[in-house]
Amino acid sequence: MPELEIIGAPQSNYVWTVRIAAAEKGVPYKFTPLRPHSAEVDAIHPFGKIPVMRHGDLELFESKAICTYIDRAFDGPPLMPADARGAALAEQWISCVNTAIDPTCVRQYIVSYVFPDTPDGKPNRARIDAALPVMEKQLATLEQAIAKTGYLVGDKPTLADFNLFPILFYLQRFPESRAMMQAQKNLTAFVASMGARPSVEATKPPPPKKD
């Protein structure tokens, strides 16, 4: 069988999700660390986003599609529930994280710290402050969602959890979101539990380098 190749910056939460998924399945792969809009990335993703994937003559973009392929193409523990109800709930939470949690917590809040577009290079306080009340509601919703079993769906981790974990991990690094996370005992326990998984330890990205 041809080698699976995962391409993207290791610090990206979606790249990390794909790498966790491959590790959970026990799938060996080649990791090629490249930034968005690198020539190799642009050749696969029409908008230059990461991650992208190669497997033989198949090229894929978008993390959900890549994770679904890894789950279905390889042997190993399933990443999604087998029953229709559980699978639908996992898909629901993946979509919610991708369309609501990530745009606010990562693209608006974290990016305003790490890659600010301010003239002096300091954090973009206007964008950060605007995100905070929305984040409060989002984290409270997630806290309630995992309260029963410690996971978003069922009593063991699924792709929905692997998709969420990197975002919560990064939120612990910034002052306002760190305080929010500390107030949510279930989310704090979730991050600790997921962080101890071998798949997460094996794929944990290094701190981002400053240009």
- pLDDT tens figures, 130-189: 999 999 999 999 999 999 999 999 999 999 999 999 999 999 999 999 999 999 999 999
Measured CA to CA in angstroms, residue 102 lies from 44, 77, 202 at distances of 23, 26, 23
pLDDT in tens, 7-63: 999 999 999 999 999 999 999 999 999 999 999 999 999 999 999 999 999 999 999
Does some domain include residue 35?
yes
Residue 187's nearest CA partner among 155, 156, 154, 141 is 141
Write the CATH number for 149: 1.20.1050.10
Cβ proximity of 27 and 76 under 8 Å: yes
Q: What is the pTM of this model?
A: 0.95
Q: Which domain holds residue 37?
A: 4-79
One domain, residues 37 and 97: no
Cβ proximity of 158 and 90 under 8 Å: yes
One domain, residues 30 and 100: no
- Position 208 pLDDT exceeds 80: no
